[in-house]
A and B are shown apart, each in its own frame.
Chain A
Amino acid sequence: MELKKLLQHWNSFPEISMEERPILSSDLEKIVVKNPLSDAFYLRKKLLWRIGIITALWLIDAWQLRAQWKTDGSEWRMDGALFVLLAYSLYFHIRLLLFADYPTLLALPLVNFLGKLEIILDKFMWSFKFVSAIAGFYLMFLVEWGLSRLSTGAYESLTHNDWYKGLIVIFLAISIDILLLHTLLPKYRKLLATVKKYREGIFAKAQNK
């Protein structure tokens, strides 16, 4: 009876209306090349930008590390640590981009699609930890450069002490991480929570049936 009533309502829709007009070829030309995912869900561009920047930094650091190694410079440990961090960050971002596989993402069944979306968002939020750590290193180099201009004595004592430099990097990285945690990350956290809640709702309804 209920389904019959529903079908009655369904069939009462006008055959032709402004809302459901046939699609024009000219409109279709534009639509088929459009990206269906909104900026919140489509992280490909952001990942590509990051991969580009990290690759450039990694190459520069590799060149610097080589120079430090050859001249037995005092910075080789820090450059080495940064080299490893940049290499792993690059691997993480490339892996995430390949995993996301945006052209086929929407072709997955609903639950798998939502599950994958959750993983992508979760890993993207994780990637901010790498950004914080990399920023920590570069800010420390900035501090060193600043000291070299302002106080040669302080610069000399810092540049020959890897422990101090390490502690400064950790302090700066944690500070940036906290800053990101309160500025950029809340919107992704909210998005992830909404996707998760939606997927769990679908599961709960399916199990109640």
Chain B
Amino acid sequence: MNTSSKRSGCEPDLRSMLKNQHKKVYSICRLFAHNYQEHQRLFTNIIAAASQNIRSRKANSDDKQTMLLRACINMAALHTISLELESAHDATIQFKSPDYQRSMSSFRESVRGISDLEKFRLFLELEKVPADEVPALTGLTNRPSVKKQREAPAPAKNFIPYLKEKLIWS
């Protein structure tokens, strides 16, 4: 009884947030889905992932936004990986409503050939996410280039790399 009342106390908040933010989820679907089924599946999976993320970290609303965006990016990446695993994947744009099909075709034509990382950056740009928040979502920091890294002094020697690798997986 207590558990259910506690859950129902936080759930409406989560649901209203997801309802209000559903356009963001559709935005990333525009970049990664090729047809109606993929679009709906990706949308559903992102909403499920976002709710799982938010439930796992019940914090302030800013954190919720980050969790939603991470769910969008991670699920889109998994979507691409799943498509790569499929032997015969049809990448033609096929949507049911003619207006949407037209808009999608012209939009995908304009972003044709760009990598997934660029798609993620474009998505974050279109969603007006501040540039300093991007590393927290992609996990990519603005590191110096390879040449600069080579010039930089060598890091402190790790005396037990084998043991470290064996004991710590990450």
Contact = CB atoms under 8 A, between A and B. Distances in A.
A22 B15 contact: no
B97 A202 contact: no
B61 interface: no
A23 B47 contact: yes
A35 interface: yes
Interface residues of A, number: 53
B97 A14 contact: yes
Interface residues of B, number: 66
B107 A32 contact: no
Nearest to A106: B49
Interface string A175-207: 000000000000000110011001001110111
A209 to B, nearest CB: 8
Interface stretch (A4-12, A68-76, A134-142, A165-173): A4-12
B73 A19 contact: no
B129 interface: no
Residue among B96, B99, B146 with the highest chain A CB neighbour number at 10 A = B99
A150 interface: no
Nearest to B116: A202
B169 A194 contact: no
A28 B47 contact: yes
Contacts of A77: none
Contact of A6 (B11, B51, B100, B110): B110
Interface in B73-128: 73-75, 77-78, 80-82, 84-85, 95-97, 99-100, 103-104, 106-107, 110-111, 115-118, 120, 122, 126
Contact of B139 (A103, A108, A194): A108
A36 interface: yes
B81 A106 contact: no
Given A14-B99, A108-B139, A190-B85, A202 B170 contact: no
Given A13-B100, A17-B100, A106 B84 contact: no
- The 7 A-B residue pairs with the shortest CB-CB distance in the complex, in nearest-first order: A109-B139, A111-B139, A36-B49, A36-B48, A107-B53, A32-B51, A9-B107
Interface of A: 5-7, 9-10, 12-14, 17-20, 22-23, 25, 28, 31-38, 40-41, 99, 103-104, 106-116, 119, 123, 190-191, 194-195, 198, 201-203, 205-207
Interface of B: 11, 14-15, 18-19, 22-23, 26, 30, 36, 39-40, 44-49, 51-53, 55-57, 67, 70-71, 73-75, 77-78, 80-82, 84-85, 95-97, 99-100, 103-104, 106-107, 110-111, 115-118, 120, 122, 126, 135-140, 143, 145-146, 169-170
